[in-house]
Amino acid sequence: MIGKTSGCKEAQRSFRLRALAIAMASALTLHALPLHAAESDAQPVTLSIANEGAEPMRCLILFAHWVTTEAGTIRPNGELEIAMFRQDSDGALWIPRADGRRMMIETIDCGAAARWAETRGQVSLLPARAGREAGYRTTCRLDGAVACGDPAPLP
């Protein structure tokens, strides 16, 4: 009996290792699918934001459901470049998550680094959504609140 029990445990351990290997292989394969699919129906696009103000500006990317991520802080007379993708079908802009799924961008807001909430202003994304160019540039300035011009295609 003791020999058979040991054999059963060994078989269970072997089965678990095979199941784990299959699960890992499946996870790696599934992880690659969204990235591959993204390449076929989306194009990379960049947005450059220039700070023409006298103080640093902080920019945030706002996604659905109040999810945000830091885009960066722009020093006076500096620029920040944001890389994203544009869906061919409807112009929606997105950034891939770590698992390859699309994080759809609702807006990009910039404000004074020290007083972001009180001074934030929206960067227009309509030109990048509606256009077909690969790069856009806008300038922003702090005048009470941040005001940005419409992004123009890069030459």
Structure-block tokens of residue 120: 């934030």
8: confidence class by pLDDT, cuts 50, 70, 90? low
| pTM score over 0.85 | no
Condensed to tens digits (0 to 9), the pLDDT of residues 92-129 reads: 999 999 999 999 999 999 999 999 999 999 999 999 99
pLDDT at 70 over 70: yes
Of all helices (H) and strands (E), which one includes residue 84? strand 79-87
Structure-block tokens of residue 7: 């054999």
**Can you name the residues that pair with 45 across neighbouring β-strands?**
84
Most confident of the ranges 18-27, 35-44, 57-66: 57-66
* Domain 42-153 bears CATH identifier 3.40.50: no
